[in-house]
Every structure is written in structure tokens, then in C-alpha cells.
Structure 1
Amino acid sequence: MSPADHDLLRKIVGPVVEDEGLDLEELNVTQAGRRSRVQIVVDADGGVDLDRCADVSRSISRALDDADAMGELPYTLEVSSPGVSRPLTLPRHWSRATGRLVRVDLVDGERVTGRVVSAADTSAQLEIDGHLREIVYLEVTKARVQVEFNRVADGDAGTG
């Protein structure tokens, strides 16, 4: 798919996703045999459940068909929400990770792991070993939410 075709798809899909109150995180088109595979990742504050993915999928499918964006070629549309392994690359990703444990690689080679306390436009506050540390996004080479098993929620310790 050419960059112009990709841009056209974004122009069609973007407003549909926004009208649903979601953010368009990714749009990829690949060939799967004679079919095109259109993969769209959407997100929102509070996450996106399967029912919401199905609703937006129907809306996107109608928009693509109405615009004849895929032409005569058959395609498969996949709409999903980002997995936990999605990198934190935008301020809204950091904001949505508030309360979560993250591992961050910095440009100076340092690697830190801490819990996101707050996130702003240019940096996030992490709690690392009981201390707050500001992490400036421009100094981050890679950041991901860490999967936690058996985390004791605040206020749950000692009850039971």
C-alpha cells in the first residue's frame, strides 16, 4: 500500500474513531493472500472493551465501504485495543498508565522501574523505592508497563 493510500485510510478512519470518543493509536495494512488485512488499534481513558471494539469496527467498516477506500479488493478488518506490552510513546499513554508499574530505559543507559504517579505533557512522576522521580519523555528511549501478578491493592493488605 502506498503512503498516499495509507493517508487516505487515516482520513477516513480517524474521524470515525474520534466520533466514537476513542484515539486512533495504529493503522496498518498488510497483504494476507489475495486479501488485505486492515489492523486498527484504538484506545481511550479507562480502556476499550470488546463491545466497544465491535461497535467501532462496524462504524469503520461502513465508512470504508461508503468511501470505496479498498476498491474491489477483499479485506479483513481487525479492530483491537493496545496490549499491555505497547510502548509508552505519547503523554496520553503515560497518563493511562497511572498507578501501573513501568520499566523505563533512558538515553544515558540507565534503566529504572517505578510506579506512575502522574503524567503531564512533557514528563511523568514515578515512585521508585518510595521516592518520586521526574522522567522527562525526551530522555526516554523505551518504556513499557510491567505485568504484575498478585499485586495487593491499596487498602487490601491485612484484610482477610
Structure 2
Amino acid sequence: MLMRRYRSILALMLALVTTCLVSCGSPAATTPPPAYTTQQVEQIQRTVSSLWEVREKMPVLKTRINNRDWVNVATYIHGPLGSLRQTMSYLTRQLLPQEQKAASEAANDLFEHLQKIDTASQSRNYELAIKNYQEALIDFDRFLKLIPDASNAAGVA
């Protein structure tokens, strides 16, 4: 009989402790989604300006393709566009984690199209070169749309 009372008291105490722990526990803290600081956006904007210069010069590549100037097509891809991969990789790493995957995919697609243009210039294939030039522009623009501007800054120092 003493055992039954002991079990009842023990069960009651466990119920009280459990109730207290559950009711006194705080809900999981919700963190705000990550945002860019003003300094991050400024750094990204300084780097992206060189990308905009390259993007504005892309019609030079189209002119060379249209003129079937294959040697200069390859030279342009490896010359003025040569540092593009490094710059885009740096910018991709500066983006928020949820945007890095899309930026990386756009950059990789751009490089694949530039490689195909280079291959087309070696085989003197105008149709393949101009098709991949158009696709490269789409990928370049897709990448640039992912770059934050001042309106994306959280204002946190």
C-alpha cells in the first residue's frame, strides 16, 4: 500500500515538473532573414561595375561573329572576357546563401555558351556561334539581375 502512494506522489511530481517545463519554455527564436549590409552592397557594386562594362562591350563579340572574324572571336573570348569567370565567382560568393546557387548556375551557363562560341569559331560555324551568343547574353543578364543594389541593404553596420 505504501508503494501505491509512493507511485502516485511520484507520478504527480513528474506531471508538475513536466507542466512547469513546458509552460515556462520559450518558443523558438525566429531570426529575420539574412540581408545585405550597406557595406556589403557597396563592395558588391564596386565589383559589379566591371561586369557592366563587359556586358556593354558584348556587341563587339556579335560584330566579330557576324563578320566571321573567327580569330578575333576567339581572341575576344580569351582576352577581354578572360577575367569574367574570376569576377563572377567572387560576386557569387558575396551573395546571400539563397541567391548563390542561382548566380552560380547563371555564371556556369554563360561560360558554357562562351566555350561553345569558342568551339564554333574554331570550326567556323556561324549558326552555332550566333545562337550561343544570344544564350550567353540571356545568362549574363540573368546573373546581373541577382546582384543587389542599394535598396537591398538592411542598413546594418
Bigger relative CO (Cα 8 Å, ≥ 6 apart): 2
The alignment's TM-score, normalised by the length of structure 1, stands at: 0.24
Pick the structure with greater CA Rg.
2
If each structure's strand is expressed as a fraction of its own residues, which one has the higher value? Answer: 1
